[in-house]
């Protein structure tokens, strides 16, 4: 049986462990029990392992971080207007942790928690982490039981599988906030492709207005991959000073959600998910990632609890929330 290594101790005194997940000739990842965080993810390249994620080497940086470095997000992802929602004739008020609004599940959410790891017999076995969020946590109704499984269904594919149940109706929308840079090279040299033909319009606070915008004739038309530097050099009312912070509505007919490739490293990643949307964010501080990084977050619709025209995020007792995302790498010539 493989024994998790101690990564560090939180200020609360809780121990955080690191688990290695690897495949012969393939991916090597390290998963932390703090926030179900993917601390590192390297992929074989022509000249050796290629790092693909931004991560920290010590627990203190994760504990102080507010950029959700490669951690799980929930109970709901993205922003909720007014930190409130109503359902069945009742209103709930959740933690306002971004001005008057709710972001990424609240002050602690599922991110700033120590998760429990199932026993494993080898480093090739899936990493299974579990957490129970008690009723009333961050203001949400009901107890939420979550299981996240990290596995390598093929040597160059990382799968993250999410399952959750509740004992009272509650909105649930989970993802991971992975920041990618394929080879730790200048971000602008990466080529980005996104299959969606619509993005969700947001206001100045990045809250959904309820309107879907066609990507035709905009910087968000990435159905043919483009260099990120070219995308960010364009202008559009929805393209902010920090760069991309957009949510694409996925097109199920295309198969993959997105591709990212880095000509300098010769590495490409293709993203697949059964989530309906994909948030992409390029505004991570260069103090954290001097070469830049790109967050890709498969998720539900922004503020769906307050937008009746969006797909409902509500999970009821007796139902199981099930989402799965695949990150598939290859060393073929980038698109």
Per-residue pLDDT tens listing for the chain (335 residues): 777 899 999 999 999 999 999 999 999 999 999 999 999 999 998 888 999 999 999 999 999 999 999 999 999 999 999 999 999 999 999 999 999 999 999 999 999 999 999 999 999 999 999 999 999 999 999 999 999 999 999 999 999 999 999 999 999 999 999 999 999 999 999 999 999 999 999 999 999 999 999 999 999 999 999 999 999 999 999 998 789 999 999 988 788 999 999 999 999 999 999 999 999 999 999 999 999 999 999 999 999 999 999 999 999 999 999 999 999 999 864 33
* Domain spans of the chain, in order of start: 5-330
CB burial of residue 22 (10 Å; 0-12, 13-18, 19+) = middle
The span from the CA of 77 to the CA of 62, in Å, is: 19
Q: Is the pTM of this model over 0.95?
A: yes
Angle at 293 between CA 290 and CA 296, to 5 degrees: 165
Q: In the prediction, which pLDDT does 334 show? A: 39
Q: In the prediction, which pLDDT does 254 show? A: 83
Q: In the prediction, which pLDDT does 335 show? A: 37
CB burial of residue 305 (10 Å; 0-12, 13-18, 19+) = buried
Diameter of the chain measured on Cα atoms: 60
Tell me the CATH number of domain 5-330, given options 1.10.1740.10, 2.40.33.10, 3.30.420.40, 2.70.98.10: 2.70.98.10
The span from the CA of 157 to the CA of 144, in Å, is: 28
The span from the CA of 128 to the CA of 120, in Å, is: 9
Task: Name 143's bridge partners.
Answer: none
Q: In the prediction, which pLDDT does 332 show? A: 62
Q: In the prediction, which pLDDT does 151 show? A: 98
Q: In the prediction, which pLDDT does 188 show? A: 97
Pair 176, 327: CB distance under 8 Å: no
CA distances from 180 to 19, 285, 305 (A): 20, 13, 29
Percentage of the chain modeled with pLDDT above 70:
99
């Amino acid at each position: 049986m493989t024994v998790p290594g101690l990564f560090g101790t939180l200020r609360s005194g809780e121990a955080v462990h690191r688990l290695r997940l690897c495949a012969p000739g393939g991916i090597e990842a390290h998963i932390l029990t703090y926030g179900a965080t993917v601390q590192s993810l390297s992929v074989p390249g022509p000249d050796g392992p290629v790092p693909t994620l931004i991560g920290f080497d010590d627990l203190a940086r994760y504990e102080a971080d507010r950029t959700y470095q490669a951690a799980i997000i929930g109970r709901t992802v993205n922003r909720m207007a007014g930190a409130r929602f109503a359902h069945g004739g009742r209103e709930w008020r959740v933690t306002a942790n971004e001005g008057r609004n709710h972001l990424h599940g609240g002050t602690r959410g599922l991110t700033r928690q120590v998760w429990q790891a199932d026993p494993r017999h080898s480093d090739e076995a899936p990493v299974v982490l579990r957490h129970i969020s008690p009723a009333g946590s961050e203001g949400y109704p009901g107890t939420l039981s979550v299981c996240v499984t990290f596995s390598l269904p093929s040597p160059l594919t990382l799968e993250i599988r999410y399952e959750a149940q509740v004992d009272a109706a509650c909105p649930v929308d989970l993802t991971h906030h992975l920041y990618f840079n394929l080879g730790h090279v200048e971000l602008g040299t990466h080529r980005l492709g996104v299959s969606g033909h619509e993005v969700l319009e947001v206001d100045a606070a990045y809250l959904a207005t309820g309107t879907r915008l066609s990507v035709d004739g905009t910087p968000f038309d990435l159905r043919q991959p483009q260099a990120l530097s070219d995308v960010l050099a364009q202008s559009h009312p929805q393209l902010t000073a920090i760069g991309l912070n957009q949510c694409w509505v996925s097109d199920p007919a295309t198969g993959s959600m997105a591709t990212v490739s880095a000509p300098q490293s010769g590495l490409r990643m293709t993203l697949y998910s059964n989530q309906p949307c994909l948030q992409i964010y390029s505004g991570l501080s260069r103090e954290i990632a001097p070469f830049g990084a790109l967050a890709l977050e498969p998720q539900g619709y922004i503020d769906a609890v307050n937008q009746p025209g969006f797909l409902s995020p509500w999970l009821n007792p007796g139902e199981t929330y099930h989402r799965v995302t695949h990150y598939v790498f290859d060393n073929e010539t980038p698109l």
